[in-house]
Amino acid sequence: MRITKRTLAALRTTNPKGVRVYDTDLRGFAVRVMPDGSKHFEVRYGGRKNRRRLTVGRLGVLTLDEGRAKAREILAAAELGGDPASARRKARELPTVGAWVREYRARIEGRLKSAKAIGRFLKRAEKRWGARGLDTVTRGDVEALIRKIGEEHRTAANRTLTTLRSCFEAAVRDGLIGTNPAAGVRPFEENPPRARVLTNDELSFLLAAVLEEPDPHARAAFALLIETGARLSEVLRARWEDLDLDGGLWRLPRPKSGRPQVVPLAPSMVARLRRLPHLGPFIVAGRHDEKPDVAPKPRHDLKGPWERAMSRARATAKKDERPTDFLADVHVHDLRRTFGLHVARSAGLHVASKLLRHRDVRVTEAVYAPLGIEELRAAVTKRTLPLPFKAKAKKGGR
């Protein structure tokens, strides 16, 4: 029967299983009529041994023309060697973006030190595409998300892009998707890394202000930051059990690189730590270390002590008639950069890289130990050149 709008409207059945009517114009296209009056478009393809049947859609949701067009697409795919039924089944089994993000986060939890930060970046994708199939996310979707984030925070946009690349690449390795939609997306150009370091004069004022800090554990924390170049998070999470004061060593079991590392301690730092009261497992005592019923936790930050120390240092500098930009725009992490620069100048870039525990010396060179104009001027001044050649005057010449 040639299925038209008129013949379709006239189809009826009392068969409880329904009847299937095939179209004579498009081979394989059919309408299944049910006793309740509902009608469903179907398509059949393949030979006798591998015959497949798919439901295209219901009349009312699709028109006859739309049902026929979809059936033609399925038949064309089958003619080219595909298996639309298997493809549909695989698509139904494919996880959504939200489900895959949760599985990916579970995989990296405990394996990557940055798992928590990665989870924060992936939340944007989960919120935007959570209910969509994993294979439906396109490069255009990723570009739109990164562009939206980059309107306010370029660095956050680039970190999100890097995270999405890794997440989708894991799905590619698992065979869930064929290509990585984030692979070809270009990141934003970021501002150059921060390069603020303290001068010797600024550091002396800051040290004097730190000595006036009433909290002995905050004083010890600042001393560790200044004398070892450690990161703030490493200092706040340091435990007494990680110290070998007799050997002058501090072991970092979980540094940023993920590999255990050892930091040498100067004798003055060892003496300071020996005098520091033990109020719990953490060297820099946390808020709950004196409460027996509460599990001890490391301090979240040193914001209060840092602001007090900077305020005292700037007030003293102002009385001493230092310039207005003296100790301006100084952050805690600048102490690490200052440490790296001082070590690089006194012992060389390689030693500075080792003490800062960088995997690549180029990171130390670019961010923590930049050569200022005065260092470059000194190198030019020290360079010696041979005296210019002076030709001997010929006899009788002028």
- pLDDT tens-digit series, residues 330-361: 999 999 999 988 888 888 888 888 888 888 88
pTM confidence score: 0.60
Please give the pLDDT value at position 92: 60
**Domain 200-375 part of CATH 1.10.443.10:** yes
pLDDT single digits (tens) 293-312 = 777 788 989 999 999 999 99
The yes/no answer on whether domain 5-93 falls in CATH 3.30.70.3270 is no
Paired with 239 in beta bridges are 282
Q: Is pLDDT above 80 for 5? A: yes
Q: 247: pLDDT confidence band, cut at 50, 70 and 90? A: very high
CA distance 240 to 380: 48
Distance CA 237, CA 398 (A): 82
Pairing of strands 243-244, 39-45: unpaired
CA–CA distance, 115 with 113 (Å, rounded to integer): 6
**Edge to edge, what strands does the sheet with 243-244 contain?**
243-244, 249-252, 261-264
Residue 156: partners with Cβ closer than 8 Å, 6 or more residues away = 121, 149
- Gyration radius of the chain over CA positions: 35
Pairwise pLDDT comparison (83 vs 100), residue with the higher score: 100
Q: What is the pLDDT of residues 159-187, one digit of tens each?
A: 999 999 999 999 999 888 889 999 989 99
Distance CA 280, CA 268 (A): 23
Could you tell me the pLDDT band of residue 25, with boundaries at 50, 70 and 90? Answer: confident
pLDDT above 60 (res 384): no
Strands of 34-129 (E only): list them.
39-45, 52-58
CA distances from 339 to 253, 325, 372 (A): 22, 21, 15
User: What are the tokens at 95?
Assistant: 């996880």
Residue 284, pLDDT above cutoff 80? yes
